[in-house]
Chain A
Amino acid sequence: MADFEPKIVGFLCNWCTYAGADLAGTSRMQYPSTIRPIRVMCSGSVDSAYILRALLEGADGVLIGGCHPGDCHYVSGNYKARRRVTVLKTILKTLGLDDERVWVRWISASEGKRYADTISEMTAHLKKIGPSPARKLWSL
């Protein structure tokens, strides 16, 4: 398992986390190349179906990045995202999937470091728990 490189799908809100990820770049902070970011307008627009789809397609982890509580550009999208993921996690468990594979993090436009750290942490964590079984389980 040592050379297992996890694949993370990131849904990053345009206003905070995506900007934070750009800042990590301009500050040249180095982190593992495990994440494939998808820009969304708000974390509140991340449909549970996206997360499920990513896991079923074989992603080892999914990161939802939004603005800090109170900072969402659209008032309350991040609260909606948090609620939705909490519900989804119980479903994931009943499907036999690790709910630790889905992370929600609030990362602002000024937190490049926090973004880089999050990716490093998440990568390390996924390495520890190993590849997602979903692909094997569910592929027909």
Chain B
Amino acid sequence: MDENNKKIGAVMVVGGGIGGIQASLDLAESGFKVYLVEKNLSIGGVMAQLDKTFPTNDCSMCILSPKLVECARHRNIELLTRCEVESIEGSAGNFKIKVKKHPRFVDVSKCTGCGDCAEVCPVEVPDEYEENLANRKAIYRPFPQATPGAFGIDKSGACCECMQCEKACKAEAILHNMLEQDIELNVGSVIVFPGFDEFEPKLREEYGYGLFSNVVTSIEFERILSASGPFQGHVVRCSDKKTPKKIAWIQCVGSRDSKIERGYCSSVCCMYATKQALITKEHSPDIRTTIFYIDMRAYGKEFDRYIERAKLEYKVRYIRSRISEVKEDAKTHNLKIKYEREDGELVTEEFDMLVLSVGLDVSRSAKDLAEKLNINLNSYGFARVDSLEPLKTSRPGIFAGGVFSGPKDIPETVTSASGACALASALLSSVRGTLVAEKKYPAEKDVSGDIPRIGVFVCQCGINIGGVVNVPLVVEYAKTLPFVVYAEDNLYTCSQDTQDTIKEAIAQHSLNRVVVASCTPRTHEPLFQETIREAGLNRHLFEMANIRDQNSWVHMKQPREATEKAKDLVRMAVAKVSLKEPLGRISLKLTSRGLVIGGGLAGMVSALRLAEEGYEVYLVEKEDTLGGQAKDIYYTLKGEDVQKFLSKLIEKVTSNNKIHIFTAATIEKIEGFVGNFKTTIKLNSSLKELEHGAVIVASGANEYQPTEYLFGKDKRVVTQRKLEELIATKKLNVSNQSSIVMIQCIGSRCDENPYCSRVCCSEAIKNALALKKMNKQVNVYILYRDVRTYGFKEDWYQKAREQGVLFIRYEEDDKPEVKLNKDKLEVLVKDLILEEKLLISADLVVLSTATVPSEDNKELSQLLKVPLNEDGFFMEAHAKLRPVDFATDGIFVCGLAHSPKFIEESICQANACAARACTILSRDELEVEGIVAEVNELKCKGCRLCKEICPYGAIDVELKKVLGKEKEVARVNPALCKGCGACSASCRSGSIDLKGFSDSEILTQIGALV
């Protein structure tokens, strides 16, 4: 192979938003060097500006910031901020890329982020991070958690070159004459996530944005809600800084509007507006909130439930309407909104504040970037991708995702980021591990026998904690506790600069134990443990007090009690940590093989990708054949041939010698843990054991079998899938007079299945268009509740309307009826515009049936020990940032097993699972936590009770000399012990303990509490 097509084990990620961050971390963890290129001063993207995220109301910065920190400290990631791609040469596997580095005028390696420079800077300019609602200095850091944490100077007209900052900077980090630089990099693949910019509402000036001071965009409102925002989280309007009494949201501003070249739906606005209304209510319950919308597009997992909560619990008012005019009252600066109700009536109502739910425009840098990278865009300027290859751009070796390939929410962006990594990693699997470095830690300080010196860090979490709990009081209290030598509060304890503060405090006050009082250890413990490890302390000399998720958030109206509880929790944590001893980590061998459960489309894609990434895969399918639900789908909305794709995929999977397929096989038992699973499957009544290091659950879902609307009783009532089959196999003839009525939401959004099945609206439109293609005159009716054609699917909805497909809305409590009149089929539905019943005679009634969870989910979830959500689908570790992981390491989920979704979304998830699994399988050995049981041999009587009780056979009893005497004692095999503590709880002599959760540690916690 000659020099030029030698593959390179490095990847460039363009765009430092949450998508680019996730891609960088996944690649860096699977053996690749990563260059993360970001045009701004800091990574973080739009997510860093958001206050909360739907539908879990997680604080956006709180979940993002650990990722920022991880990116900054990762040995395999090089952050290139203030950088832009200039040109690219070469081909997949080996690209040469020129990057332009704009001067920041501050030396990142010297700047300590102290802010002395900004203090003295005389120039104030509008702050774009605050959406111009506040000012910043000419030398600035976009936000406190910015990564890197260094400042930068805005010389695009702001800086007056007074050199004050240079004088103020003790670190001598300021370089006013820094020059632009060209950097040349050699990478094997490029992943593009330029993200989005919000729509500029000046293009829709009828809403008065820019003219009326109390009209703001949703992203501005996000900053208004944020505790670290321009008004410290107080909901006020701009004209008089008073709390408004009535706020309205107008949906679809810059979306679903072909007049301004934005015919697509932005996919996220219905949910974020609901979130904003709900959070507003939480801030000030007296504010009345109204959302003016066209269709409520709550199509995602747990979305409909969120809307219901907003309606019922928070009394958010939803009005289906079209806005005809917004006027301002010149005296009060209130806004008069004139809207047309669904029944055609015009109504005017006054509000004190108006939020425009602006859509997502593709990033303004995308066009230029696409030209430089030579990749194709679609008519709206987004990356052109195929539904069946949703992560590939038009140029081989360059992958894309996030909003760049279509409007998306955070979890889908994160999923596509991981998915793009799988493709890059498959392309470069032969050079994996060639350009990466080992992480080096300082030697661990020996603290055994030392008197505890504890540092306590209490997080304000913006106002998430500080708004309820009196944090300074808790800090003062902490200082009085035994062994506490240092305590402080932080605005965000998880930010990059606080990590440095913690390290400094450890050095300065010779701390040997640390307590952080903040959110939940389930998400943040690893971050802080890493910090203290970097400061030379063992990871286990650490404890967290959960004063947010289990305190300030659940006692929002009881500040006094919450403060008391926070003190108690801190006291308990301090008591526990003072007894903690360093624990070792154990290195284990692992089996670099994957197991994929389910041979449908998602399962096959992830199996194939893992194989291409270089790992053997077991693919287990319960049916006799591969293919799953996709067998019944013939074409996509865009017209791609699904059956052709499927048979090619089956062919690739069956001919790949790394993939071992077991059909008609069931899972009997799953044992073990990340890196070392042992699964027993049943194959024609014989059992077989498989060893593997990761599991991907792709077990699919079922189609709801209707009992309503004469289904099964009259042959002319069919499901949407049956109709598709009839069309595709040319078994259906339609004449000019034919009348076909489709009824939506059969088995979805009802009491039994309160969720939306996501695909049915688009599937109905897809088939309606196919019918119209067969005969333009055919009458097609779609009876719907909301048309949920999100993203570019909206184009097809508009097309269907243009072609004369009739859309009639019905209400949940006034469902259509299907009747037999002699032998004629009739559908009766109430027309909400005309307020009267319509009778439609039908040749065919088509039911859009729900996607329901598989009946096997329960059993599988118990075998795997992973949870299901209330609807019976598998529940991921975190709805936003860990969308395909389970909380249990080494197990992942994709496709319909996760929730209803389109083929392209299943493919993204399947790829994402392969990438996530690869972060485990690519390692040589696995470090596991030292939380295992330990025997005190002096006390042990050798009674064998623990041996019997241990569910893992990790305990044996052996003859041993203890203090000169031979006796029988228990011995724990740390490789088998999972740290459940069952042995220790049942040991009668109290001689077996779980490290990290020992009897003495828990008893002191109890003692400290009461």
A residues with CB within 8 A of B: 7, 9, 14-16, 18-19, 21-22, 24-31, 33, 36-42, 44-50, 53-54, 57-59, 70-77, 80, 84, 108-110, 116
Contact = CB atoms under 8 A, between A and B. Distances in A.
Nearest to A69: B862
Contacts, number: 157
Contact of B985 (A28, A47, A53, A71): A47
Contact of B568 (A36, A70, A76): A36
Interface residues of B, number: 57
B550 interface: yes
A21 to B, nearest CB: 5
A58 B1006 CA distance: 10
Contact of B1010 (A9, A45, A50, A108): A9
B982 A45 contact: yes
Contact of A38 (B565, B931, B986, B1006): B1006
Contacts of B904: none
A38 B1003 CA distance: 10
Given A49-B999, A50-B1003, 8 more contacts: A9-B1009, A15-B887, A30-B555, A44-B981, A75-B951, A80-B982, A84-B986, A110-B870
B564 A57 contact: no
Contact of A72 (B282, B865, B1003, B1006): B865
Contact of A47 (B569, B999, B1007): B999
B555 A33 contact: yes
B556 A44 contact: no
A44 B1005 contact: no
Most chain A CB neighbours (cut-off 10 Å) among B58, B521, B548, B997: B997
B483 interface: no
A45 B1006 CA distance: 15
B951 A27 contact: no
A33 B562 contact: yes
A132 to B, nearest CB: 10
Given A22-B520, A84-B985, A110-B875, A53 B1006 contact: yes
B294 interface: no
Given A24-B554, A47-B985, A36 B1009 contact: yes
Interface string B719-730: 000000000000
B429 interface: no
B57 A28 contact: yes
B278 to A, nearest CB: 9
Most chain A C-beta atoms within 10 Å of own C-beta, residue among B562, B865, B985, B1005: B985
Interface of B: 56-58, 282, 520-522, 546, 548-551, 553-558, 561-562, 564-565, 568-569, 572, 861-862, 865, 867-870, 875, 887-888, 931, 949, 951-952, 978-982, 984-986, 994, 997, 999, 1002-1003, 1005-1007, 1009-1010
A76 to B, nearest CB: 6
B888 A21 contact: no
19 contacts: A9-B1009, A15-B865, A21-B550, A26-B58, A28-B554, A30-B554, A38-B1005, A40-B997, A42-B980, A45-B994, A45-B997, A47-B985, A49-B999, A57-B1006, A59-B1009, A76-B951, A77-B951, A80-B986, A110-B875
Contacts of A110: 867-870, 875
Nearest to A111: B870
B891 to A, nearest CB: 12
B279 to A, nearest CB: 9
Nearest to A58: B1010
A71 B57 contact: no
B979 A41 contact: yes
